[in-house]
Structure 1
């Protein structure tokens, strides 16, 4: 049961994060361009990965393979976020949120392989 609560927690937060990206928000696009030198298209791709990954985490109550795929999709983006924050010189503190979700998803992925 605890894994579904964790997956729901991650999915809820990541969906909130993904919506401005998917909606092609100008402010978010400016942050991606100025903060990370990433294009609006990259922002939208990240948003869709987050959104689809979150939906899959929610669907994991039906099958743990959804959890595995959703967590993997989100972790691709969280890994990129960690990398780009550090590359931009924002410091380790700016990566804490992405690291938290990355680790929670890593636990989900490992747990999904248990019989």
Structure 2
């Protein structure tokens, strides 16, 4: 319980920092859960927050969302993993936030 409160507090503090936009800005949403417990996204844009996914875990999570050829993964200043991937035969930019939401760039 204390860990969840600490994570939520950190997310709130990080959401006050200015957003660093690469393709799709991370949104601040202190009302969102710290952990996305379902396989579905709870946000259509990456949520800023301290991300504990390793690069390997981020790649696996993106692949589980139906992407292949995941590459160039880098964690941005908002804690969002960003990289490139293919879905079908289409190459796209993709992101993974601290809640596990996988989103393509618009």
Q: Report the TM-score when normalising by structure 1.
A: 0.28
Structure with more helix by fraction: 1
Structure with more strand by fraction: 2
Q: Report the TM-score when normalising by structure 2.
A: 0.29
